[in-house]
Amino acid sequence: MRGMKPVLSLPARVPRTDSPEDGDDDDRFSDQLVEAFLEAYTRPGDLVLDPFAGFGTTLVVAERMGRRTLGLEILPERVEHIRARVSDPSTVIEADARRLATLDLPPIDFTLTSPPYMTRTDHPENPLTGYQTLDGDYGRYLDELTVVYGAIGQLLTPGAKAVINVSNLRTGGTVSPLAWDVGAAVSRVLRFEQEIILDWDDPEDWYTNDYCLVFSSFDDESTGAAGRA
Ligand SMILES: C[S@@+](CC[C@H](N)C(=O)[O-])C[C@H]1O[C@@H](n2cnc3c(N)ncnc32)[C@H](O)[C@@H]1O
């Protein structure tokens, strides 16, 4: 049994991305970050969910480490991209995570994602439509993330953790405390356990800091004894 603070086997400076050649500016995890969380919080055979699968980093690394995987992604071209990277394309579902409760998903042993980001003001693009519509609304965005994580909470097995990677965003002279706002919003439906500060090897000037927020289910009586390993 591990203590409350997970032992993440990460270097002091974390590599930020493994695939800069893709040519777009949507952030992705490094394999090393995913490996460290899977090592700390899962066992082989566990089911790992990424509800905002993006380029599939969580799923590809989890598969490589002998975990079962499930990914949701709203943009068809990204779904295709991920399906080409994993060994079982049927584990990648083209779906809107906001409808997760209707998808009849199995129990989840761990979830790790970086949701699409949004600033508090001047952000008409809606992150939760993959920035495809101009009806962005910060309050609704936070509420909808709460809906996603409320549904995930219903699926978490005993001891399972939900980890959200999110930054506080610097735009011009202002900072949107997105990490705090997402943390507060998701805390309405999941129990907040701790934040892990990511000290990236090449930090961006558009955030003040980057975090992984760790949650568990309110129903989970094993909370405090973090980790499944
Ligand atoms: C920041 S990216 C995740 C990147 C991922 N961590 C990686 O390393 O590849 C967020 C992803 O969420 C997707 N997305 C946005 N809204 C969504 C929704 N409502 N349901 C599912 N996926 C969504 C976006 O299309 C985008 O690919």
In a domain, 46, yes or no: yes
In a domain, 84, yes or no: yes
Name which residue leads in pLDDT, 228 or 160. Answer: 160
What pLDDT is stored for residue 200 in this prediction?
81
Ligand 1 atom index nearest CA of 29: 8
Cα angle 192, 196, 197 (rounded to 5 degrees) comes to 135
Contact 186, 83 (CB under 8 A): no
In a domain, 228, yes or no: no
Contact 173, 185 (CB under 8 A): no
Which residue segment(s) compose the domain that 106 sits in?
27-216
Pocket test for ligand 1, best of 14, 21, 24, 52 (most atoms within 8 A of CB): 52
Angstrom distance (rounded) from CA 63 to CA 6: 22
> Average of pLDDT values for 118-135?
96
Name which residue leads in pLDDT, 164 or 219. Answer: 164
> Average of pLDDT values for 224-229?
50
pLDDT digits (tens, 9 = 90+) for 155-175: 999 999 999 999 999 998 899
Element (H, E) at 35: helix 31-41
Contact 36, 8 (CB under 8 A): yes
Domain count, the chain: 1
Element (H, E) at 152: helix 138-155
State if residue 74 touches ligand 1 by the CB under 6 angstroms criterion: yes
Contact 73, 26 (CB under 8 A): no
In a domain, 2, yes or no: no
Distance 1 CA to ligand 1 centre (A): 32
8: helix, strand or coil:
coil
In a domain, 79, yes or no: yes
State if residue 144 touches ligand 1 by the CB under 6 angstroms criterion: no
Q: Token pair for residue 161?
A: 């953790």
State if residue 96 touches ligand 1 by the CB under 6 angstroms criterion: yes
> Average of pLDDT values for 180-209?
92
Q: For residue 192, how many C-alpha atoms fall within 13 Å in the half-sphere facing its CB?
A: 16
What pLDDT is stored for residue 5 in this prediction?
60
pLDDT digits (tens, 9 = 90+) for 130-139: 999 999 999 9
Ligand 1 atom index nearest CA of 75: 25
Cα angle 107, 74, 41 (rounded to 5 degrees) comes to 35
What CATH code is carried by the domain that includes residue 185? 3.40.50.150
In a domain, 8, yes or no: no
Residue nearest to atom 9 of ligand 1 (CA): 55
Comparing CA positions, the residue from 149, 163, 165 lying closest to residue 42 is 163
